[in-house]
Amino acid sequence: QYFEPAFGPEVVWSLLEAARGVVDRHHGFSTYLRLTTRPVDQKLADPVKARLGTDEWRRQTLLGGYRLIEASEANPALPPDAPVVQIVTSGALVTEAVEAAKFLQKEEVAANVIVVTSARRLFAELHDRRLSAIRDRLPDRLGHLATLLPPGERRAPIVTVMDGASHALTFMGAAYGVPVIPLGADAFGQSGSVADVYRYAGIDAEHIIEAALLATEIASRS
């Protein structure tokens, strides 16, 4: 299994889940945690704590992710016909994702932020359910991805961003067949401040904003 927590409580939940996997004699698993030493403002988690409560936040974290920012909740003044874009991120990049979403909402773009805590679990569920639909002719029901991408937003374009391979989260677009613009770090060895390196890689807030605007433009043509 693989987890990339963004906030302190998620580290604890991931470690406990990893311990559970080690002691489970019949369905045990090993776990890899991708962590960062970069400080993340823990107050950024307030919206999900208020909306879901701690128990449901934990449950969704272990399923693979949760909706951190709901645009309609964060900015009730958004026009009903505002274009929607999903900003999907992992780990430390939650800081830039939230910054970009707030800017976009001011520009009347309904930008939501989805935090992926385990790309492995989300992708495995998507793969297994699609394979079952093919082999067993079962309905195409996508489990937790259906929660992360609710019915009214399933045609919305997606921007994925993480400080890792840009393709790592692009499977999110395969759930409902929507345009995806992936941002990530595909070259390594550079040195500099976090801001400089993020700008070089194209994963800072400014690049996320421009990618979101491009994504909505692409979606409007289809």
pLDDT at position 89, please?
A: 98
pLDDT at 20: 94
- In this predicted structure, the answer to whether residue 99 has a pLDDT above a threshold of 90 is yes
Average pLDDT over residues 57-73: 98
pLDDT tops 90 at residue 222: no
Per-residue pLDDT of 145-197, as tens digits, reads 999 999 999 999 999 999 999 999 999 999 999 999 999 999 888 889 999 99
What's the pLDDT tens digit per position in 3-50?
999 999 999 999 999 999 999 989 889 999 999 889 999 999 999 999
b (16+ CB within 10 A) / e for 130-157 = eeeeeeeeeeeebebbeebbeeebeebb
Q: Mean pLDDT in the chain?
A: 95
Q: In the predicted model, what is the mean pLDDT of residues 124-141? A: 89
Specify the range with the lowest mean pLDDT, choosing from 50-64, 108-122, 144-158, 184-198: 184-198
What pLDDT, on the 0 to 100 scale, is given for residue 140?
80
Model pLDDT, residue 125: 95
% pLDDT > 70, the chain: 100
Q: What is the mean pLDDT of residues 107-121?
A: 97
